[in-house]
Amino acid sequence: MKHTYTVTGMTCNGCVASVSKYLSEINGVENVAVNLETSEAVVEMRVHIDLDTLKSALPEKYTISKKGKLTTDPLAQEEEKSKLQQLKPLLLIFAYLFAAAFLLNFKAWSTSEAMLDFMGLFYIVFSFFKLLDLKGFPDSFRMYDPLAKILPAYGWVYPFIELALGLLFLMRLQIPIALVVTILILGITTVGVTKSLLDKKSIRCACLGTALKLPMTEATFIENAIMLVMAFAMLLQLV
C-alpha cells in the first residue's frame, strides 16, 4: 500500500536523503520517495504503519503529517504559530538597514543617497549570511529561483554577485549597471517566490542563507519588492 505525506523542515537535498533514510529503516516500509519542492514523501509499506511511528522515526526538525488532512501535531502547530517569530531576524535586519541609511544621511538629507546606502547595505549584509554556508545555500536557493533551477552554478555565484552589487552602491560606482542587474536578478527571484507562495509550498527562504531558518512567506515577496521599487525609482532618476 502507498501513502502520501507532507514533510516540513526540509531545506536541501541532504534533508531529503536524511528523511528517506530514517523512513526506510522503519520495519514494514518497502520504498520511500521524497520530493523537496512539494515537501512530500510517498511511502510504500507492506502493512499499515501509523503516523506516530513515522513521526518517532524522524529527527525533531522534521514534521510529517498525512497529506490533505489537518495535523494535530503540536510541533506542526507551533511552527505555524511562530511564523512571525521565525521572521523576526529578517524584520530586525530591515529595521537596522533603514536606520543606518537614515543616520548616514540625516544631516544633509537626500532620498536618493539614502536609497543607495540602503541597497548597498542590504546586499552586503545578505551576502554575508549566504557566504556563511556557501555549500548549503545553492540547494535551498534552487528550490524557488527559476534561473538557479536551470543553471545550478548560478546559486554558487549569487552571493558574490550580491557582494559586488553592495560595494558598487556604497562606493557609488557604475550605479546604472548595478541598478539594471538588481532588477534582473531580483525580478527572476521574485517570479519564483510568487509561484511558491501561490502553490503554497512549504519551503524555506534562502534570503539569509541557511544559517537562519526562515519560512517562505509574503514577507519574502515584500523584501524583494522594496528593492525592486528602489531600483526602478533610482533608474528613472538617472534616465
Question: In whole angstroms, what is the distance from residue 181 CA to residue 199 CA?
Answer: 27
Q: Mind listing the domains of the chain with CATH numbers?
A: 2-81 (3.30.70.100), 83-238 (no CATH)
pLDDT of residue 89: 82
Residue pair 214/89 in contact by the 8 Å Cβ criterion: yes
- Is 80 exceeded by the pLDDT of residue 97? yes
Given pLDDT bands bounded at 50, 70 and 90, which one contains residue 176? Answer: very high
Helix/strand/coil (H, E, C) string of 154-191? HHHHHHHHHHHHHHHHHHCCCHHHHHHHHHHHHHHHHH
User: Which of 200, 193, 186, 195 is CA-nearest to residue 220?
Assistant: 193
Identify each DSSP E strand in 36-183 by its residue range: 40-45, 63-66
Length of the chain: 239
Alpha-carbon torsion 23, 29, 35, 41, what sign?
Answer: negative
Residues facing residue 162 across a β-bridge: none
Instruction: Name the residue with cell 503529517.
Output: 65
Q: Which comes out higher in pLDDT, residue 220 or 227?
A: 227
pLDDT in tens, 76-95: 444 444 566 777 888 899 99
pLDDT in tens, 183-226: 999 999 999 888 888 877 666 777 777 666 676 677 778 888 99
Q: How confident is the model over 220-235, as a mean pLDDT? A: 90
Q: What percent of the chain has pLDDT above 90? A: 44
Residue pair 148/188 in contact by the 8 Å Cβ criterion: no
CA dist 8 to 96, 127, 196, Å? 30, 26, 15
The average confidence (pLDDT) of the chain is: 85
User: How many Å separate Cα 155 from the centre of its chain?
Assistant: 12
pLDDT in tens, 107-126: 999 999 999 999 999 999 99
User: Which of 5, 40, 220 is CA-nearest to residue 126?
Assistant: 220
R_g of the chain computed on alpha carbons? 21
pLDDT of residue 171: 97
Residues facing residue 226 across a β-bridge: none
How does DSSP assign 104-116, residue by residue? HHSTT--HHHHHH
Residue pair 31/94 in contact by the 8 Å Cβ criterion: no
